[in-house]
Amino acid sequence: MLHIINKSPYDRPALDSALQTGEGGILFTEDGVYAIAKGGAAEAKIKAAQGKFKFYALGADIDARGLSDRVMEGISVVDYGGFVDLVAEYKTNQSWL
């Protein structure tokens, strides 16, 4: 399953909810991309879960928020076309709104 997260991990528990509930892929979009900034508290959570999940983030949202120089290792940055490919690749997806 593809988990789509558009919430900052510092505002709402969407990332924790996804990590505790499923497996598969996690795509960060919108404010969700704050999770992948190097040095943030969410970095350790993502690192710890890298065996269970593959992590992706939407480049347009990373760039918009001035985070392009802060992307942690192990994150695949995708464009909107890549977003479409991920939705096609996984049989189902869940938006953690």
Enumerate binding residues for another protein (CB under 8 A). Answer: 1, 4, 6, 13, 17, 20-23, 29-31, 58, 60, 79-81, 83-85, 87-88, 92-97
Tell me the closest approach of the beta carbon of residue 25 to another protein, in angstroms: 12
**Nearest distance in Å: CB 66, another protein:** 16
Q: Which is nearer to another protein, 70 or 94 (CB)?
A: 94
Q: CB of residue 11 vs another protein: minimum separation in angstroms?
A: 11
Residue 6 or 36: the one with the smaller Cβ distance to another protein is: 6
Q: Which tokens belong to 90?
A: 């996984």
Q: Which is nearer to another protein, 39 or 92 (CB)?
A: 92
Residue 56 CB neighbours (<10 A)? 22
**Helix intervals (H) in the chain:** 14-21, 42-48, 59-64, 80-89
- Report d(CA 82, CA 84) in Å as an integer: 5
Q: What phi, psi does 54 have (nearest 5°)?
A: -100, 140
